[in-house]
Amino acid sequence: MIIGMFLGMVMVLGLLGVVVIVRMYSNIKKLKKGLRGQEEINQSIYRRFEELDQMINRRIDNEIDRVDKMYTETNRYINGRMDETSRNFDEVYQQMDSRLDKLANKLSNPVKKDLLQD
In the chain, what are the domain boundaries?
A: 27-94
Please state the separation of Cα 94 from the chain's center in Å: 51
In Å, what is the CA distance from 72 to each residue of 9, 80, 81, 92, 104?
92, 12, 14, 30, 47
* Cβ atoms of 77 and 84 closer than 8 Å: no
Sign of CA dihedral 46, 47, 52, 53: positive
pLDDT at 43: 94
pTM: 0.51
| Beta carbons within 8 Å of 106's beta carbon, 6+ residues apart | 113
pLDDT at 105: 82
pLDDT at 110: 61
Query: Does 109 score more than 80 pLDDT?
Result: no
Mean pLDDT score of the chain? 88
DSSP 27-44: HHHHHHHHHHHHHHHHHH
